[in-house]
Amino acid sequence: MEELIDQFLNFLSVERGLAANTISSYRIDLIKFTVFLEKNHIASMGSVRKNHLIKYLMLLKDKRLSTNSISRNLASIKTFYKFLVNEKHVKENVAGILESPRLWKKLPNTLSVEEVDRLLSAPDRRSWMGIRDRASLELLYATGMRVSELINLKVNDLNMDVGFIKCVGKGSKERIIPIGKRAKDAVKKYLDKSRGRLVKAKYQDGALFLTRLGRRMSRQNFWKMIKSYARRAKIKKEFSPHVLRHSFASHLLERGADLRIIQEMLGHSDISTTQIYTHIDKERLKSIHHKYHPRG
């Protein structure tokens, strides 16, 4: 089984060009699955039946894995079986008929527009670092980028004249995202007033957002920064940097944006991932009805 997994992971790397972290996740998921098969005396992938897969998913549920984690494990197994069938290692894709747990059952946290305004207004716009922080927060909300994408931006990825930014996402896929006037103005102010003071000759790699030492910001740097501003903005909800990404998508959908456009800006390869935000919108409508309808 390990040899087949190695062939599959090599296929993902060479043929599909997936990122190392994604391939590592596939490896972990599939090794856990093969350990389960060995414990149940199933000697080959061709011997696996639907009831074995259901038993495995129930085992993951009993271990209190989140719905998202169980779905990801099943997705790894499904993709693996597609490969095995295409390469004629097995005759039947027994995983293909299984439905993934519905990811939208646990809806992601989002901020209201007023909460976003408070968060983005929290940095001190008179200080170098406050100007940097305001620019990074404005850009994160304006584009819906992941934090990993934001901190890897380079100055050359910006096109301030046209108002677009080039972003490299999962699987090294490149996408172009428009930025609004407020984010554009905040980034321009950062470039004009702060970044030049932060640049250090020995660390110059073109990174857009820099630390006090002139290095590229890390995920940990950004996490601490945004959490401190969330406290300052008195945001009571469970909060993480990803909440701004969810808020970006939810606010666009509320205002009538097409789901396919949101999918493209978020960099989702499958629209089913983006569809979670339609459920957020339905929940919002239900809450409004409940609050304002006389018989709600």
For the question of residue 245 being annotated catalytic, the response is yes
Q: What is the mean pLDDT of residues 217-229?
A: 93
Give the per-residue pLDDT at 92: 86
Same domain (yes/no): 40, 139: no
Sign of the Cα pseudo-torsion (191, 195, 197, 199, in order): negative
SS3 207: strand
For the question of residue 246 being annotated catalytic, the response is no
Structure tokens at 61: 């549920």
For the question of residue 268 being annotated catalytic, the response is yes
- Over the stretch 198-214, which tens digit does the pLDDT of each residue have? 998 777 889 999 999 99
Of 32, 189, 268, 284, catalytic:
268
Same domain (yes/no): 253, 186: yes
Of 242, 260, 289, 290, catalytic:
242
Same domain (yes/no): 141, 86: no
Is residue 106, in this structure, part of any structural domain at all?
Answer: no
pLDDT above 70 for 241: yes
Q: What one-character-per-residue DSSP string does 214-240 give?
A: SPBPPHHHHHHHHHHHHHHTT--S---
For the question of residue 52 being annotated catalytic, the response is no
Is residue 104, in this structure, part of any structural domain at all?
Answer: no
- Over the stretch 166-198, which tens digit does the pLDDT of each residue have? 999 888 889 999 999 999 999 999 999 999 999
Range of the domain at 249: 113-290
For the question of residue 132 being annotated catalytic, the response is no
Question: Model pTM greater than 0.85?
Answer: no
Same domain (yes/no): 91, 118: no
Same domain (yes/no): 149, 270: yes
Same domain (yes/no): 128, 241: yes
Cα–Cα dist 156/165, whole Å: 9
For the question of residue 32 being annotated catalytic, the response is no
Give the per-residue pLDDT at 272: 74
Count: domains in the chain: 2
Q: What is the mean pLDDT of residues 40-68?
A: 88
Share of the chain above pLDDT 90, in %: 57
* CATH assignment at residue 24: 1.10.150.130
Same domain (yes/no): 120, 78: no
